[in-house]
């Protein structure tokens, strides 16, 4: 140990700075750039600096360009309102402790009378190093993404935050509560307190933040974002100042240490954060991605699938596929909102090794999204699966069929026998629609009116449909059977050419029935994707398709939504009209992806997915940009606003 006089301090520090090889740790309440640069002499080294920010006057002493200098060399600056210690540790092996700041008056010859001690005893240096780390732990790393400071807590899940910078609504933030654990939240609403508010408050504020307008102006007008945070933090240590206030919704308490203990790492916040707690953004931190791979119960996702980014960030967003094939999902949004693209992104990032996906594609939108697939494109034909279906076709084409006469009953019995809502029994396995109608006509009396009516009915069908498509039914049945036993794990049913809505729901219903049967037998993980689901499972009174027992696709959608989870069969229902899809089916879809919606009825239909704390998101649904959506439910840790890549 060596005592340093006033004359010795600067040369000793200069020598130590020059000889430093690994690190410099400096505690100096105030610091001047000129002195610091002479000591450092352009040296690139691991640098940590603790300075004082008790009041804004601290930065009339400390030169504010020190922040840019330290940042350029990759160093860190920590702010502490109570710091008075003055010492330097070099390479964690030697130190200088004294009364001098790193300023002209502190270490230059014409400055104050200061004294210091040079310490080279490793044990003592180690103690000083521990003291440095202790001070640092209670200081603010100004180069971190500090978003603001908690002003007050409204409840355990809601706080008001004074923001230090421009932060978009829906930005994710954290409030540390221990070395590892933190509260996770989002900035729901940002309120701007402008100059006119200052003027209004000034007359009655008394000894408040507005009583020193020059200082406040200094903070507000500072352009450099780092320096603005520095000045604002210092100003706040003098006064309870506020410029921008954010409403913070606290989503969960996150503790990664629980992963090792195989416990839920997300807890519901029960204790509100203290006023004065610092709030940090999570814009570019890996920990938020780790959180995004946790399911609603707080455990690691079994099958995380990436689909896009968290809103206003570069961080990946995930959904738990296991919660979809066991608990189902709704994808809701107006035309062009990005709902179909969202599902395509899921498919692009899905590992198909142990899960089968059946896509009911109304408009031929999925072929390019899935590479290794079995695709069955249906022609523009008619596919009745019950006598009621064919009877309705007769009515549409002017054939009166009442089953009163013997021949009508004979024809009716024949059609009932062949038109069954089951792939293994239906007469289309061997005969086409044309075959069935002609055979039915031949059962009628040779000279009777019904015979002529049925042949005329067939002639009218040939004018409305290509004749070959009235003969393809055995081929369609064979291809449907092949699609159910293919070794491809992605099967696309393309209905783009099918014009008749009853044919669509009939084919879809028969296929869904067979998929459900397969799932009950083999219990393999599988998912059905229903594009424009309101066409297959409509709400009563909406659309051109009935929602009752005559609609097999509606019945099977209900059955799968209710029972599919027992057999690892999931359902993803996509619709642009949430008001028009069966409310019962919608209620069984336990993960929801909601994109832009405009129609009042549709907004009412999805309002049940938005709890009170998410009213701000619900209110902006009509204004969301394409590709921006809110994901909530069992497949994500909590409700998240996300962005997907369009195109």
E strand spans, 276-321? 278-281, 304-310, 316-320
The token pair at 133 is 């780390």
Distant-in-sequence, close-in-space partners of 77: CB < 8 Å, separation ≥ 6: 49, 50, 51, 66, 67, 70, 71, 141, 142, 143
Between CA 379 and CA 465 the distance in angstroms is 10
pLDDT at 229: 67
Between CA 484 and CA 486 the distance in angstroms is 6
Distant-in-sequence, close-in-space partners of 112: CB < 8 Å, separation ≥ 6: 100, 105, 106
| Half-sphere exposure (Cβ direction) of 493: Cα atoms closer than 13 Å | 27
Helix (H, G, I), strand (E, B), or coil: what is residue 231? helix
Average pLDDT for 463-484: 95
Strand partners of residue 152: 160
Residues 533-570 have pLDDT tens digits of 999 999 986 666 777 778 999 999 999 999 999 999 99
Between CA 334 and CA 320 the distance in angstroms is 24
Which strand ranges, in their side-by-side order, compose the sheet holding 640-643?
A: 316-320, 304-310, 640-643, 628-633, 591-594, 329-332, 569-575, 526-530, 356-361, 490-494, 374-377
Is the confidence at residue 202, as pLDDT, over 80?
Answer: no
Residues 299-344 have pLDDT tens digits of 888 889 999 998 877 888 999 998 988 899 999 999 999 999 999 9
Residues 33-88 have pLDDT tens digits of 999 999 988 788 899 999 998 888 888 899 989 988 998 889 999 999 999 999 99
Largest pairwise CA distance in the chain: 130
Between CA 298 and CA 301 the distance in angstroms is 9
pLDDT at 270: 81
Is the confidence at residue 351, as pLDDT, over 90?
Answer: no
The token pair at 114 is 């200061």
Domains, the chain: 2-141 (3.30.870.10), 146-288 (no CATH), 317-381+472-643 (3.40.50.300), 387-464 (no CATH)
pLDDT at 201: 39
Between CA 478 and CA 376 the distance in angstroms is 11
Residues 260-281 have pLDDT tens digits of 666 666 777 888 888 888 898 8
Strand partners of residue 244: 163, 192
Helix (H, G, I), strand (E, B), or coil: what is residue 39? helix
Pairing of strands 374-377, 490-494: parallel
Is the confidence at residue 283, as pLDDT, over 70?
Answer: no
């Amino acid at each position: 140990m060596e005592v340093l006089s006033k004359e010795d301090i600067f040369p000793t520090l200069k020598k130590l700075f020059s000889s430093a090889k690994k690190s410099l740790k400096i505690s100096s309440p105030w610091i001047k750039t000129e002195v610091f640069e002479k000591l450092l002499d352009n040296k690139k080294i691991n640098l940590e600096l603790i300075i004082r920010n008790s009041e804004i006057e601290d930065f009339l002493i400390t030169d504010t360009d020190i922040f840019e200098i330290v940042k350029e060399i990759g160093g860190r600056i920590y702010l502490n309102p109570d710091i008075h210690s003055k010492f330097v540790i070099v390479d964690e092996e030697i130190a200088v402790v004294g009364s001098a700041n790193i300023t002209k008056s502190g270490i230059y010859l014409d400055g104050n009378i200061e004294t210091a001690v040079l310490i080279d005893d490793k044990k003592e240096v180690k103690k000083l190093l521990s003291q440095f780390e202790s001070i640092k732990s209670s200081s603010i790393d100004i180069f971190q993404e500090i978003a603001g400071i908690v002003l007050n807590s409204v409840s355990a899940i809601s706080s008001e935050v004074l923001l230090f910078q421009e932060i978009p609504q829906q930005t994710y933030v954290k409030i540390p509560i221990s070395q590892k654990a933190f509260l996770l939240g989002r900035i729901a609403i940002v309120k701007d307190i402008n100059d006119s508010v200052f003027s209004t408050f000034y007359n009655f504020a008394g000894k408040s933040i507005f009583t020193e307008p020059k200082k406040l102006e200094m903070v507000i007008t500072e352009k450099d974002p780092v320096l603005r945070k520095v000045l604002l933090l210092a100003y706040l240590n003098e006064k309870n100042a506020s410029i921008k206030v954010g409403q913070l919704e606290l989503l969960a308490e996150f503790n990664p240490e629980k992963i090792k203990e195989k416990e839920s790492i997300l807890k519901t916040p029960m204790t509100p954060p203290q006023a004065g707690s610092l709030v940090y953004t999570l814009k570019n931190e890996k920990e938020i991605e780790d959180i995004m791979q946790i399911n609603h119960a707080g455990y690691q996702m079994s099958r995380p699938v990436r689909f896009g980014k968290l809103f206003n960030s570069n961080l990946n967003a995930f959904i738990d596929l296991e919660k979809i094939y066991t608990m189902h999902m709704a994808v809701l949004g107006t035309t062009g909102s990005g709902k179909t693209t969202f599902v395509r992104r899921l498919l692009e990032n899905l590992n198909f090794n142990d899960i089968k996906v059946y896509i009911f594609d109304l408009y031929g939108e999925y072929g390019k999204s899935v590479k290794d697939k079995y695709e069955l494109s249906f022609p523009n034909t008619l596919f009745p699966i019950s006598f009621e279906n064919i009877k309705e076709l007769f009515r549409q084409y002017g054939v009166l069929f009442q089953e009163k006469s013997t021949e009508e009953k004979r024809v009716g019995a024949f059609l009932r026998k062949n038109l069954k809502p089951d792939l293994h029994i239906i007469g289309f396995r061997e005969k086409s629609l044309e075959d069935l109608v002609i055979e039915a006509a031949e059962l009628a009396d040779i000279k009777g009116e019904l015979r002529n009516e049925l042949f005329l009915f067939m002639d009218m069908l040939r004018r409305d449909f290509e004749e070959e498509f009235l003969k393809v039914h055995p081929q369609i049945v064979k291809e449907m059977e092949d699609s159910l036993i293919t070794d491809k794990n992605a099967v696309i049913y393309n209905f783009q050419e099918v014009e008749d809505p009853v044919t669509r729901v009939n084919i879809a219903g028969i296929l869904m029935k067979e998929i459900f049967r397969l799932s009950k037998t083999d219990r393999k993980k599988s998912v059905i994707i229903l594009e424009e689901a309101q066409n297959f499972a409509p709400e009563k009174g909406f659309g051109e398709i009935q929602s009752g027992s005559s609609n097999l696709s509606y019945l099977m959608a209900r059955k799968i939504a209710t029972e599919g989870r027992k057999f690892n069969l999931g359902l993803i229902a996509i619709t642009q009209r949430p008001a028009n899809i069966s409310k019962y089916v919608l209620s069984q879809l336990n993960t929801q992806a909601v994109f832009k919606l405009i129609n009042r009825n549709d907004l009412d239909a999805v309002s049940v997915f938005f709890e009170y704390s998410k009213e701000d998101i619900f209110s902006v649904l009509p204004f969301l940009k394409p590709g921006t959506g809110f994901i909530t439910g069992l497949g994500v840790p909590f409700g998240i606003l996300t962005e997907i890549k369009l195109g």
